[in-house]
Structure 1
Amino acid sequence: MDIYTLFFLAIAVVIFFRLRSVLGKRTGEERPPFDPYTAREEAETGGDKVVTLPTARARQAADPDDQIGGVVKPGSAVEGALKTLLSADPSFHAREFVDGARLAYEMIVTAFASGDKATLQPLLDEEVYQGFVQAIDERNAAGETVDFTFIGLDKSDIMEAELANQIAQITMRFKSQLISVTKDSDGRVIDGDPTEVTEMTDIWTFARDVSSGDPNWKLVATEAT
């Protein structure tokens, strides 16, 4: 080997070890890939915004109470419906569903206020999405804007659940606090008060085909009370 070969070999070795120190190496003990739908930070990065309400991984728990208990009243009709759903979809976990639904709720109301159709589309059933789009387009055509601040959720609970023809539906009640002010094209307030926190109660229904490999739930119905 001549001096030039040794010189370039030495450079290659140095580069290899520097890359190794920066990128690390696989040991077989790495955590599995992070699920971007179970954390707010990933949901806000602008990537795929579909929210997986319960996690998609298969579960080993043999006791249904482990996956449903503590979320609904024991012995209630809702608990029975959730157990039926669990028998068709062993990956379902009630607490994780509620946590995911809370995240989806905030994402949807915030995206609607800002007119962010890209965020809304993967979270909504097509019919619901078109209704939201129509409202956004009418607001834009009128030159109206919305100043929106989501304060937080006071309460969220499962009201109803059912499984019919492999379609699971879960109805949630959300009680939230927010500040929402609509302004006209001249910046004048035409609805809402920037100093007033509004309490909202919304009843939303999410659905999923449990026979599908897609673990994502979508909003299929909304109602404000």
Structure 2
Amino acid sequence: MNGIFDIYTILFLVLAVVIFLRLRSVLGRRTGNERQPYDPFSAPKESGSAASDKVVNLPPRAESGAPRANAANDDFGDIAPRGSDLAQGLSAIRQTDPAFDPKGFVDGARMAYEMIVTGFADGDRKMLKNLLSREVYDGFVGAIADRESRGETAMSNFVSIDKADITEAQLRGRTAHVTVRFVSQLITATRDKDGAVIQGDPNAVTEVTDIWTFARDLGSRDPNWKLVATESAD
């Protein structure tokens, strides 16, 4: 009996170890490198599969612990001339958040701009809520509700975004504000409840210039930037 008992004991131990190892391989372990919350203003990651609707894969942020000799002397290339007010504003933001990458920010801002414009036309409140401040979101949703109450529908199709330039950067307390000037080619049209075009032209391309300001609390764990102000230059 003792021999049989010992054999069964060994078998159960081996089985327990195998189960443990299989669970570990399937579930994984927390390493501190898990996926961060979605940030539309960091640089895009390479992806081997097509992105799903309303999902944008963006490049990883730089390591927050990366050493910087002197952020005030950063060279931002063609984004901001050295010594300019814009360069000083970007440097102030980077001093507080060493992970801030102006080029990655611009790439993300272009994507967010297109998502917000098309989301507004589609009445996609859920998507807009993730990218807009409370005040801007309330304004957008109010306009969508008015349009829907009249039975109107809108469409916005991007032909191209020709320019996306940072024009201003400020650090107010712990909150960073970055203003971007977008120049895009758009096809837009609004139709009434009977389908007649009442604004825009579904067959014409129009150049549109928008000046948008994005903000982020650098002291927050939330990495997302949100649209806080809009202005049309047209």
Alpha-carbon distance change, 43 to 159 in structure 1, aligned in 2, over 3 angstroms: farther
The separation in 1 between residues aligned to 2:173 and 2:125, in whole angstroms, is 30
Length-normalised TM-score, structure 1: 0.78
Matched, 1:202 2:214: no
Match of 1:7 in 2: none
Superposed structure 1 runs of 4+ greater than 6 Å apart? 51-54
Give the Cα separation in 1 of the matches to 2:221 and 2:76.
22
- Supply the distance in 2 between the matched residues of 1:117 and 1:57 (Cα, whole angstroms): 33
In the alignment, structure 1 residue 172 sits paired with structure 2 residue 180: yes
Q: Is the 8 A contact 2:189 2:201 kept in 1?
A: yes
User: Aligned with 1:92: secondary structure?
Assistant: coil
Supply the AA of the counterpart residue of 1:116: D
| Displacement after TM superposition at 1:76 (Å) | 1.1
- 2:156 aligns with 148
Aligned-pair CA distance for 1:62: 3.9
Q: Which residue of 2 aligns with 1:55?
A: 61
> How big is the alpha-carbon RMSD for the aligned residues of Structure 1 and Structure 2?
3.8
1:41-190 superposed matches below 5 A: 41=51, 44-45=54-55, 55=61, 57-58=63-64, 59-62=66-69, 64=71, 68-190=76-198
- Which of 1 and 2 has greater Rg? 2
Deviation at 1:60, TM superposition (A): 3.9
- 1:68: Cα distance to partner? 3.2
**SS of residue paired to 2:221:** coil
3-state SS of the aligned residue for 1:203?
strand
For these two proteins, the number of residue pairs brought into alignment is 217
Q: Identity of paired residues, percent?
A: 47
The whole-number CA distance in structure 1 between the counterparts of 2:171 and 2:60 is 16
Q: Is 131-140 or 93-102 further displaced after alignment? A: 93-102
Q: How far apart are residue 54 of structure 1 and its match? A: 8.1
SS of the residue 1:91 aligns to: coil
Whole-angstrom distance in 2 between the partners of 1:138 and 1:53: 37
Separation (CA, whole Å) in 2 of partners of 1:44 and 1:175: 22
C-alpha displacement at 1:44, in angstroms? 2.3
Q: CA-to-partner distance for each residue in 1:36-93, whole Å, 9 max, x for gaps?
A: 5454926724xxx8x9898374134546466733321222110011111111111111
Question: Unmatched 5+ residue regions in structure 2?
Answer: 5-14, 46-50
In structure 1, C-alpha distance between the alignment counterparts of 2:111 and 2:60, rounded to whole Å: 12
Change (3 A) 1:134 1:89: same
Residues 20-59 of structure 1 aligned to structure 2 (within 5 Å) = 37=39, 39=44, 41=51, 44-45=54-55, 55=61, 57-58=63-64, 59=66
Specify every segment of 5 or more residues in structure 1 that has no aligned partner in the other structure, as ranges. 2-11, 27-31
| CA–CA distance in structure 1, aligned partners of residues 74 and 228 of structure 2 | 28
Deviation at 1:34, TM superposition (A): 5.8
